[in-house]
Amino acid sequence: MKVRMLVVLFALFAVTFVLAEKYPSKPITYVICFAPGGESDITARLQQPYLEKILGVPIVITYKEGGGGAVGWTELVTRAKPDGYTIYGTNLPHTILQPLQGGVGYKTEQINNIYFFQSTPCVLAVRIDSPINTFEDFVEYAKKKGMVTLGGSGQPSANSFATVRLAKLTGLNITYVPFSGSGTAVPALLGGHVDGLMTYTTMAIQYKDKMKVIAVATEERIPLFPDVPTFRELGIDLVEKAYRGVAVPPGTPEDVKRVLEAAFREVNNNPEFVAKMLEMGFVIENYDEAASAKLVSELIPYYKQLWEETQGK
């Protein structure tokens, strides 16, 4: 009798243990650290149904905007529970540049990126009805006006950094106007509140009937804009883009991270998802946790050097 009871208790314990270990078993909150409508949000919305099918639980997208992403990333490393049920979208070079600038509640090394899944090159764009049709026109306009304004997503960010670099390399008087995300910067351009945008390929594709791209910050021309020159072709050594990925709070168990890492990798290998992303102007990237850490470590000295140069030191 005692043996039978021990067997039953052992079986119950085993079942309870398995259930306790199963991950995920409830909805996962996917926090976007920018306003709705930008690249991070668009990607999360596209990933959502695929992640739900792979993981078998609802993916709930929420927003924690502010400080060009810093509000959300501070929460990620200081208050978020490391159980795999709250994950955060992350951006490079934002999470490198913001701690360099100071005044944020996180350090670059505290961000535990588990996957970088896409990137977007920076582009210089103006309104579709603008008399500016080329970069030469833009330079002439800026010199004649004395000062021009370019809007973009966040500060410091890939957009703000590209704008500062453009001003430094050309000698033009350019004022950067930060917005809470790419999506909120577009209305400012369309409303005539800024002269142009330093934005991303995705916004240029999404609003191609409302804005025109006059230069791209890539090493080679982009197939989506085959007639638009790179800054390098124009004699300006400006190459800049933003990487986007997902991170978990410090202390998240390894087995949980592997589940999430595999899920995002599977989404990125889905031909249907990839086709949608490419059509919208994204570049697919595949950096797992180890590769993400290596990417960040390689970019830190690069941005430290450029940061010092642009600060006029």
Percentages helix, strand, coil for the chain, rounded to the nearest 5? 45, 20, 30
Give the confidence band of 21 by pLDDT, cuts at 50, 70, 90.
low
For the chain, the straight-line distance linking the first and the last C-alpha, in angstroms and rounded, comes to 82
Give the confidence band of 115 by pLDDT, cuts at 50, 70, 90.
very high
Give the burial class of 171: count Cβ atoms within 10 A of its Cβ; 0-12 exposed, 13-18 middle, 19 or more buried: exposed
Q: What is the pLDDT of residue 5?
A: 52
Q: How many domains does the chain have?
A: 2
Q: What is the pLDDT of residue 181?
A: 82
Give per-residue pLDDT as tens, 36-55: 988 899 999 999 999 999 99
**Is the previous residue joined to 178 through a cis bond, with omega within 30 degrees of 0?**
no
* 78 and 115 belong to one structural domain: yes
* 190 and 278 belong to one structural domain: no
* 220 and 289 belong to one structural domain: no
Tell me the Ramachandran region of residue 26: left when phi exceeds 0, alpha when psi lies from -120 to 50, beta otherwise: beta
Q: Record the pTM.
A: 0.82
Residue 302 belongs to a domain: yes
Q: What is the pLDDT of residue 250?
A: 97
Task: Return the CATH number at 302.
Answer: 3.40.190.150
Give per-residue pLDDT as tens, 208-223: 999 999 999 999 999 8
* 115 and 75 belong to one structural domain: yes
* 168 and 73 belong to one structural domain: no
Task: Return the CATH number at 170.
Answer: 3.40.190.10
